[in-house]
């Protein structure tokens, strides 16, 4: 459990639920959820090495490209579909969110906040932000769609998506005031409205 959003995600998941973890990496979140919440889960991953890690720890994983959609999954077949810190690296942002809400009753999206003050400060100082959440240079980043929390919430509004719950974190701690300025990581639980 090395990622700061995992603990919050775990509190949002009801025991025995059915979970799909998109971009599941080495399967550690699912492994944790299976162990603590007795969920039935599948990961989706594209990277060979990460698939091997999932298989090694006994986490079921499906090797498909998220950009191509979730056609192997039936509508409404999951309680939760998780996309953890991956949305900003997706080319087809609208399509994947729509697919998540087709396949799952709820979706959990976590994303780094581009509007975090340190990022704004670095931009003001004339440089693209580099931080724990955005560790890459501008030229080698896999991220293609940066957004602030305000942007994501507007997006949900426009797409008739209801935000059921959100949590804004900085360094793993909850942020209550000026979240779009002081939070560097956001978690949203969303559903079709």
Partner 1 sequence: MRTHTDSVGVVIPQTVRFDSSISLASGVCLPGFELVYETYGALNDDASNAVLVCHALSGNHHAAGFHAPTDGVAGWWDNMIGPGKPIDTNQFFVVSSNNLGGCHGSTGPSSINSSTGQPYGSSFPLVTVEDWVRTQTMLADHLGIKCFAAVIGGSLGGMQALAWSYLFPHRIRHALVIAAASKLTAQNIGFNDVARQAILSDPDFHGGDYYQFGVVPSRGLKLARMLGHITYLSDDVMGARFGRLLQNGGINFGFGIEFEVESYLRYQGEKFSSSFDANTYLLMTRALDYFDPARLHDDDLSLALSEVRAKTLVVSFTSDWRFSPARSKEIVKALLDNGAQVSYAEIKADYGHDAFLLEGTYYHALIRNYMQRLMCQD
DSSP code of 88?
G
The correct pick among 60, 79, 151, 153 for binding partner 1 (CB under 8 A) is 60
Measure the CA–CA gap between 32 and 29, rounded to whole angstroms: 5
State which residue, 20 or 185, has the beta carbon closest to partner 1: 20
Indicate the residue among 51 and 82 with the shorter CB distance to partner 1: 51
Shortest distance (Å) from residue 43 CB to partner 1: 9
Among 7, 74, 94, 191, binds partner 1 (CB under 8 A): 74
Q: State which of positions 75-114 bind partner 1 (CB under 8 A).
A: 77
CA distance 162 to 191: 5
Q: How far apart are the first and last CA of the chain?
A: 32
| Distance, C-alpha 85 to centroid of its chain | 4
DSSP strands (E only) in 13-77: 18-22, 40-45, 61-63
Please identify which residue in 9, 39, 61, 149 interacts with partner 1, judged by CB under 8 A. 61
Retrieve residue 46's tokens: 């594209």
| 64 lies in the binding site for partner 1 (CB under 8 A) | yes
Among 9, 13, 51, 87, binds partner 1 (CB under 8 A): 51
Residue ranges in 173-192 that form contacts with partner 1 under rule CB under 8 A: none
73 binds partner 1 (CB under 8 A): yes
Query: Looking only at residues 4 through 23 of this chain, which bind partner 1 when binding is defined by CB under 8 A?
Result: 18
Name which position in 7, 11, 38, 52 contacts partner 1 (CB under 8 A). Answer: 52
CA distances 28 to 32, 76, 126, 152, Å, are 6, 24, 37, 26
The binder of partner 1 chosen from 10, 62, 89, 164 (CB under 8 A)? 62
Partners of 18 in the β-ladder? 40
Give the residue with the Cβ less far from partner 1, 61 or 96: 61
CA dihedral 180, 12, 131, 100 (to 10 degrees): -90
Q: Which of 109, 95, 102 is nearest to 78 (CA)?
A: 102
Q: Given the rule CB under 8 A, which residues bind partner 1? A: 18, 40, 42, 48, 51-52, 54-58, 60-64, 71-74, 77
């Amino acid at each position: 459990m090395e990622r700061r959003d995992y603990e919050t995600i775990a509190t949002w998941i009801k025991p025995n639920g059915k979970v799909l973890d998109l971009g599941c990496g080495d399967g550690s979140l699912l492994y944790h959820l299976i162990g603590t919440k007795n969920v039935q889960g599948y990961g989706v991953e594209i990277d060979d090495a990460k698939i091997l890690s999932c298989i090694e720890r006994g986490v079921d994983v499906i090797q498909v490209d998220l950009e191509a959609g979730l056609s192997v999954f039936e509508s409404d077949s999951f309680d939760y579909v998780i996309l953890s810190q991956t949305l900003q690296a997706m080319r087809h942002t609208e399509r994947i969110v729509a697919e998540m809400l087709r396949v799952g009753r709820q979706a959990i999206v976590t994303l780094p906040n581009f509007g975090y003050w340190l990022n704004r400060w670095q931009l003001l100082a004339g440089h693209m932000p580099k931080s724990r959440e955005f560790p890459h240079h501008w030229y080698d980043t896999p991220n293609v769609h940066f957004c602030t929390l305000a942007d994501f919430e507007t997006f949900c509004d426009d797409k008739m998506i209801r935000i059921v719950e959100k949590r804004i974190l900085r360094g793993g701690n909850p942020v209550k005031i000026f979240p779009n300025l002081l939070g560097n990581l956001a978690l949203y639980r969303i559903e079709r409205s």
